[in-house]
Amino acid sequence: MRLKNLTPLVLAAAALVPTFFMHSCANTTQSPSGGPKDTIPPALFWTKPVPGAVGVPTHGARFEFGFDEYVKIKTANNIFLSPPQQKPPKSKIKGKGVQVWFEEDLRPNTTYTITFTDAIADNNEGNMFPGFAYVFSTGETIDSLMITGSVLDCSTLKPVKNATVMLYKDHSDSAVFKTRPDAAVKTDDWGYFALPYLQDTLFRIYAIIDENNDNLYQMETEQIAFIDSLIRPVTVVNDTLKELQSYDMKDTLACRERNSEYTLKMFREEPTKQLLKNYGRTAERYGFVSFMAKDAWIDSLWIKGYKADRLITQFNLRQDSLEIWINDRRPVPDTLQLYVNYRKTNDSTGVMEPVVEHHPLFVEGALPRRLRNSYAERKKLKHEDTICVFKLEAVPELVEQEGYSLSFAYPIISENFDSIRFHYLNPKQKDFDAEFTVERDTLDVRKFRLMPKEKLLPGYEYFMKVPHKAFRDINGFYSDSTEVKVTLPSDEKLSTLTIALEGVSGKIIVDLLNEKRDKVMRTYTATTNTTLVFPYLRKGKYSVRITEDVNGNSMIDTGDLLSHKMPENVNFFKLESGEEYIDVLEATELTQTINVSEMMKN
On whether both 126 and 18 belong to a single domain, the answer is: yes
Q: Would residue 313 count as lying in a domain?
A: yes
Domain that holds residue 554: 495-599
On whether both 261 and 299 belong to a single domain, the answer is: no
Residue 220's pLDDT is 85
Single-letter amino acid code for the residue at 251: D
On whether both 157 and 254 belong to a single domain, the answer is: yes
On whether both 221 and 177 belong to a single domain, the answer is: yes
Quote the mean pLDDT of the chain.
Answer: 90
Residue 35's pLDDT is 57
On whether both 472 and 500 belong to a single domain, the answer is: no
On whether both 540 and 499 belong to a single domain, the answer is: yes
Q: Would residue 375 count as lying in a domain?
A: no
Give per-residue pLDDT as tens, 20-71: 333 434 344 444 555 567 778 899 999 999 999 999 999 999 999 999 999 9
Q: Would residue 379 count as lying in a domain?
A: no
- Who contacts 22 (Cβ-Cβ below 8 Å, separation ≥6)? 41, 130, 245, 246, 247, 248
CB 499, CB 582: distance < 8 Å:
no
Percent of the chain scoring above 90 in pLDDT: 77
In the chain, which residues have pLDDT < 50? 1-31, 371
- Who contacts 506 (Cβ-Cβ below 8 Å, separation ≥6)? 527, 548, 549, 550
On whether both 468 and 500 belong to a single domain, the answer is: no
Looking up residue 178, the CATH number of its domain turns out to be 2.60.40.1120
- Measured CA distances, 189 to 18, 26, 158, 243 (Å): 18, 21, 10, 14
Residue 24's pLDDT is 38
Give per-residue pLDDT as tens, 162-213: 999 999 999 999 999 999 999 999 999 999 999 999 999 999 999 999 998 8
Q: Would residue 377 count as lying in a domain?
A: no
Give per-residue pLDDT as tens, 419-459: 999 999 999 999 999 999 999 999 999 999 999 999 999 99
Q: Would residue 3 count as lying in a domain?
A: no
Looking up residue 126, the CATH number of its domain turns out to be 2.60.40.1220
Residue 3's pLDDT is 38
Using the 3D structure, point to which of 315, 335, 369 is the last residue of a domain.
369
Using the 3D structure, point to which of 200, 234, 266 is the last residue of a domain.
266
Residue 39's pLDDT is 79
Residue 372's pLDDT is 56
On whether both 338 and 314 belong to a single domain, the answer is: yes
On whether both 231 and 256 belong to a single domain, the answer is: yes
Distance CA(420)–CA(424), nearest Å, equals 13
Residue 134's pLDDT is 94
Closest CA to 326 of 444, 413, 384: 413
103 Rama class: left (phi>0) / alpha (psi -120 to 50) / beta: alpha
Residue 4's pLDDT is 36
- Report how many domains make up the chain: 5
3 state SS for 493-556: CCEEEEEEEECCCCCEEEEEECCCCCCEEEEEEECCCCEEEEEEECCEEEEEEEEECCCCCCCC
On whether both 563 and 471 belong to a single domain, the answer is: no
Strand ranges inside 284-320, DSSP E:
286-291, 298-303, 311-315
Residue 272's pLDDT is 86
Q: Would residue 96 count as lying in a domain?
A: yes
On whether both 18 and 126 belong to a single domain, the answer is: yes
Task: Dihedral sign for Cα 194, 195, 196, 198, please.
Answer: negative
Residue 374's pLDDT is 60
Residue 367's pLDDT is 52
Residue 370's pLDDT is 53
On whether both 499 and 482 belong to a single domain, the answer is: no
Residue 22's pLDDT is 39
Using the 3D structure, point to which of 104, 137, 170 is the last residue of a domain.
137
Residue 33's pLDDT is 53
Residue 13's pLDDT is 39
Phi and psi of 100, rounded to 5°?
-130, 135
| Entry pTM | 0.77
Distance CA(95)–CA(48), nearest Å, equals 14
Residue 375's pLDDT is 55
Q: Would residue 1 count as lying in a domain?
A: no
